[in-house]
């Protein structure tokens, strides 16, 4: 089968670890310094992955952190196949903001369609600073019919799983059809 291209946007409040997750996934490294993303995307993060015997060319859009007042620009949604919504398990604010981002995202792309989505609670290595229990994240993802993963970009825990899950969510909709093909239900 020919490779399929999949564009994935990573959204979430500031400093939750969006860039760190993207860098860990694509470059297998963690850089422990805070360098806020200021543009849409610093540079295209791309990686070829194999999932269920199929080759996927993934392209990640690493966005600058959103807050509750943010309007989601079209560049974050046009041509995008799936979304990773990130909060930090150490930040209540980021958990509140991820709910607002989800609402705005559905408004932007039309809530009637099911959106391939993975909710991620990052920074699980910071055990003592955790304020969002796993159960709260799992419950929220359940309400959204989304996949749920808790990760540590720092310790490279569950990072690959996030991207496998988002491909899985996308495949649920695109089926095994041609690139961009829609599912006939
Ligand atoms: N302990 C720990 N720190 C992390 C983890 N992921 C990211 N960080 C740190 O959190 C800070 C923010 O990480 P970034 O990856 O820049 O976060 P971001 O969401 O891309 O930030 P914005 O570009 O401002 O939206 C940095 O200091 C990272 O080193 C993690 O899993 N564990």
> pLDDT tens digits for 150-182?
999 999 999 999 999 999 999 988 764 444 444
- Amino acid 181: pLDDT: 44
Give every CB contact of residue 37 below 8 A, 6+ residues apart in sequence. 18, 19, 62, 63, 64, 65
Please give the full DSSP string across 63-105, using - where no structure is assigned: PPPP-TTPPPPGGGTTT--EEEEEEETT-HHHHHHHHHHHHHH
18 lines ligand 1 (CB under 6 A): yes
pLDDT at 183: 43
Contact 129, 94 (CB under 8 A): no
ipTM of the complex: 0.99
> Do residues 62 and 42 make contact, with C-beta atoms less than 8 angstroms apart?
yes
Tens-place pLDDT, residues 110-123: 866 689 999 999 99
C-alpha to C-alpha distance for 117 and 148, rounded to whole angstroms: 9
Q: Measured from the CB, is residue 65 less than 6 Å from ligand 1?
A: yes
Whole-model pTM: value is 0.92
117 touches 83 (CB < 8 A): yes
- 39 C-beta closer than 6 A to ligand 1: no
CATH numbers and ranges of domains, the chain: 4-173 (3.40.50.300)
Residue 13: closest CA among 123, 157, 162, 110:
123
Residue 42 has pLDDT above 70, yes or no: no
10 falls in which pLDDT band (50, 70, 90)? very high
């Amino acid at each position: 089968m020919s490779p399929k291209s999949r564009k994935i946007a990573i959204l979430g409040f500031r400093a939750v670890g969006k860039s760190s997750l993207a860098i860990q996934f694509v470059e297998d490294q963690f850089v422990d310094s805070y360098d806020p993303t200021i543009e849409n995307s610093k540079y295209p993060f791309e990686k070829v992955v194999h999932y269920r015997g199929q080759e996927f060319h993934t392209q990640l859009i690493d966005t600058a952190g959103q807050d509750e007042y943010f309007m989601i620009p079209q560049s974050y949604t046009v041509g995008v196949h799936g979304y990773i919504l990130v909060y930090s398990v150490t930040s209540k604010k980021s958990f509140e903001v991820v709910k607002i981002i989800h609402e705005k995202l559905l408004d932007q792309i039309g809530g009637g369609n099911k959106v391939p989505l993975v909710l991620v609670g990052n920074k699980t290595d910071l055990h003592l600073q955790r304020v969002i229990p796993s159960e709260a994240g799992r419950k929220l993802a359940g309400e959204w019919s989304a996949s749920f993963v808790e990760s540590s970009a720092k310790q490279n825990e569950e990072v690959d799983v996030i991207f496998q899950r988002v491909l899985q969510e996308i495949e649920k909709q695109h089926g095994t059809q041609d690139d961009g093909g829609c599912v006939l239900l």
